Structure 1
């Protein structure tokens, strides 16, 4: 299994629009991508503009295929409006154990 963890900070005043866009992407990922096992959207408890995404895929190929879906491309376009430039960081990991 493969996971992707994304950390990002969004622009002030864009929280509601960001949550709408990312929830559509997360829902579509789980519903439409057989290789996507999990797509969590987490909010920082201290900074209301900091978010973390946790995505779990069956393998690298499924994670790569995600990047070419319609919902991912729509979210990327939305991210250009909401995400603070230079704050999006991705961590890619091999999952050794998952429940």
Structure 2
């Protein structure tokens, strides 16, 4: 399962958002079933970030989302940004 989130820092909150995203990525990468947890920044607008997460399955994704550290960090991230999240799965193109 893949999770993609686009986050826009609230005015004056870019540095704090970036710090929080680094923390959540570091923690996410250490969780069982996580293949990658990357943070991207828009070169045209440094206030916009993209989170790119990939999990083995729904169980690994749910474990991440229900973890205490993720809930705490996501609450703080919501305070300093506006964001949209999509949960997607691969399409078999063979």
**TM-score w.r.t. structure 2 length?**
0.86
> Which has the higher mean CA deviation after the structures are superposed, 55-64 or 70-79?
70-79
d(CA) in 1 for partners of 2:26, 2:79: 20
Residues 48-80 of structure 1: per-residue CA shift (max 9 Å, x gap): 111110000000111111111122112122123
d(CA) in 2 for partners of 1:4, 1:17: 22
Mark the runs of 5 or more structure 1 residues left unpaired by the alignment. Answer: none
- Aligned partner of residue 22 in structure 1, secondary structure: helix
Query: Which residue of structure 1 lines up, in the alignment, with residue 16 of structure 2?
Result: 17
d(CA) in 1 for partners of 2:60, 2:3: 11
Mark the runs of 5 or more structure 2 residues left unpaired by the alignment. Answer: none
Query: Which residue of structure 2 lines up, in the alignment, with residue 49 of structure 1?
Result: 47
**TM-score w.r.t. structure 1 length?**
0.83
CA-atom RMSD in angstroms: 1.6
How many residue pairs align between the two structures? 92
Query: Which residue of structure 1 lines up, in the alignment, with residue 79 of structure 2?
Result: 81
Q: CA shift at 1:96, angstroms? A: 5.5
**Corresponding residue to 2:33 among 32, 35, 40:** 35
